[in-house]
Structure 1
């Protein structure tokens, strides 16, 4: 997971109230259950010493309705200066989080969001295409663009030269279709450049899809052709959604498999990997961590004392004495632009945390 979105969090001095809660509200009973969960989270914050005004701000954010299908997760992080982070997503919340700590408690939120994928969905046909930007943790696209292609020019057929007229018609048709696919590819290229997406899912007319893939071949993106997907209103929406889910699941599995393989190779060479809380913390001191690999459940209850790692800092947060190891390592990742990914301890050498390093 890219940690850039958390950067502003650590410009505040803290302490931090962090709540991750299920805010699903898809029925009357669910609304009451949500109210009880919010109340329990706020009571927990108060019991840990969070000031009443901080608790009130968190409560107000959590109580607000969200337009998401169940399961809906919301994370709110607040300090005495106000709410510093507030995000929602379609995700399960296995265990509610409510902490008042020197650092934000983001491990469970990262676990909920780590399998989400940002992607571009392109449905293309001879007439143009529809391009939408998606986050798989949200039920609707963040933006949609329609590219209207050129219309096919009418070619008058001549009665005494039907063969030549048909040839001219086919040539004109092919040129227009290629041009329309190129217009769609041009818009996809612009969106990828502006938004940084590296996965493009393409569905629609096979000839237009093939042309689009050829044009995008030189772009720094992975292009995946969907098994189903049409731009027309009756193009099989359920089949399209199934094809998208399958492509995204394949992407997540391949990414995690690649991380495990890289970690195993680094262990085999004896370099570019750190394992365990102490070694990973030392690697953060020298700015060597490229990707932090955590098992939030295995990290729970483990502590880290910054005094044991001279040079390990947490932005504006005045940390003294032992803190939760998971909170400290995620904060260090945020401040050093490291990625954070969630993997089970069983593939991390039975350690709760490991790291892939930028250099040995």
Structure 2
């Protein structure tokens, strides 16, 4: 997997790659004999669909190879694969998505709408389990099952053991001080691992659990930028009797809180910009297209998917134009469903796209954009 759509949208570099693209969104659910048979037949079925769209043999072979079952994932589950010039560039499992019929596309740029809809608003986060002997940091993505990266800090058991040994007993101040210094050192190492992973992956949530004293030490040593996004769970998960299901539910609750705050914030931003002639808000299909043409859109908000509209994709700035337009004729690539062209233009103008639930946009509005600068002014004003 080389790219993921998140709250910041799709990686624009995908649209800048040359050559043909082939994408497939397919159901890879298991659990029944019929489902297993359907998954087994997928490579040949998708290969035929690609062949009918004049895909190259290299692209067909690469995509067929990637279509493997989603072992260990509860149904429904889909797989999204994008291939460019015989290379699998994106290969992701989408949990919870039911695909009724395989969706296969070939063209000069990738159709990443399904992936963006599934991933939009999701984010990377860390789960940390701290102990006095060290701890573990795990990197996850809120829309993806399983650990993406794992790092650990393991203190030296012999060092801790000798700090408690004779002369005297652990309760004596000298030996207790030595032991606590080891704990502080382990906490410092663990905090450094957290800060590094958080910074490299732009995490939006750090869930910290474990031994009471250890998690307090770790929390105190985190970088100032990461303390506000740290949520401490009053659970000692590094014990043999720890209930992992309770722990997982508590982590999911923190994730849901972040997602809920995001939607609430977007709703408030739309409401706040709806007055004063809404100079910083584009409402409706035509206004959003205009904003994207001017690279004025900061965040595109999609409540309805605009599947009944089409747009013309351009090979350079301004990246898109409406059907029937005679402007930029020398840049025209072709006409495609609006969701594909809108997503491409959003990525190529460094904007964000969010697929939002009902209630965020005003009644009767299916698409909107929060603007970088007010309408009827120049970017430099």
Does the TM-score normalized on the shorter chain lie above 0.5?
yes
Partner Cα distance (1:106, 1:232) in 2: 43
Q: Structure 1 regions of 5+ residues with no counterpart? A: none
Partner Cα distance (2:307, 2:242) in 1: 47
Alpha-carbon shift at residue 191 of structure 1 (Å): 2.1
- Structure in which a larger fraction of residues adopt helix: 1
Q: Does structure 1 residue 329 correspond to structure 2 residue 337?
A: no
Q: Does structure 1 residue 195 correspond to structure 2 residue 201?
A: yes
8 Å CA contact 1:229, 1:240 repeated in 2: no
SS at match of 2:14: helix
Aligned-residue CA RMSD (Å): 3.2
SS at match of 2:97: coil
Alpha-carbon shift at residue 228 of structure 1 (Å): 3.3
Equivalence for 1:276: 284
Equivalence for 2:298: 290
Q: How many residues align?
A: 347
Partner Cα distance (2:344, 2:88) in 1: 14
Alpha-carbon shift at residue 328 of structure 1 (Å): 0.9
8 Å CA contact 2:39, 2:68 repeated in 1: no
8 Å CA contact 1:229, 1:236 repeated in 2: no
The one of 120, 128, 131 equivalent to 2:137 is: 131
Alpha-carbon shift at residue 13 of structure 1 (Å): 4.7
Alpha-carbon shift at residue 263 of structure 1 (Å): 2.0
Partner Cα distance (2:279, 2:236) in 1: 45
Partner Cα distance (2:181, 2:67) in 1: 56
CA distance 1:104–1:223, change in 2 (3 Å): same
Equivalence for 1:88: 92
The one of 146, 164, 167 equivalent to 1:154 is: 164
Q: Does structure 1 residue 69 correspond to structure 2 residue 73?
A: yes
Cα deviation, 1:22-76, whole Å, max 9, x if unaligned, reads 21235543221324566665665566x4447477347514533444523432112
Partner Cα distance (1:335, 1:68) in 2: 36
Q: Does structure 1 residue 29 correspond to structure 2 residue 34?
A: yes
Q: Does structure 1 residue 230 correspond to structure 2 residue 242?
A: no
Q: Does structure 1 residue 301 correspond to structure 2 residue 308?
A: yes
Equivalence for 2:371: 357
Q: Does structure 1 residue 145 correspond to structure 2 residue 151?
A: yes
Deviates more, 1:298-307 or 1:222-231: 298-307
Partner Cα distance (1:284, 1:167) in 2: 67
Partner Cα distance (2:83, 2:211) in 1: 49
Deviates more, 1:59-68 or 1:199-208: 59-68
Q: Structure 2 regions of 5+ residues with no counterpart? A: 1-5, 321-330, 375-381
Please give the TM-score of this superposition, normalised by the length of structure 2: 0.78
Equivalence for 2:113: 107
Cα deviation, 1:81-127, whole Å, max 9, x if unaligned, reads 33463322241223453334554322222122235431111100111
SS at match of 2:145: coil
Equivalence for 2:25: 20
Alpha-carbon shift at residue 5 of structure 1 (Å): 3.3
Partner Cα distance (2:10, 2:115) in 1: 14
8 Å CA contact 2:95, 2:145 repeated in 1: no
8 Å CA contact 2:80, 2:92 repeated in 1: yes
SS at match of 2:172: helix
Cα deviation, 1:259-300, whole Å, max 9, x if unaligned, reads 2222222223523322222211221222222222223x5321
SS at match of 1:267: coil
CA distance 1:130–1:220, change in 2 (3 Å): closer
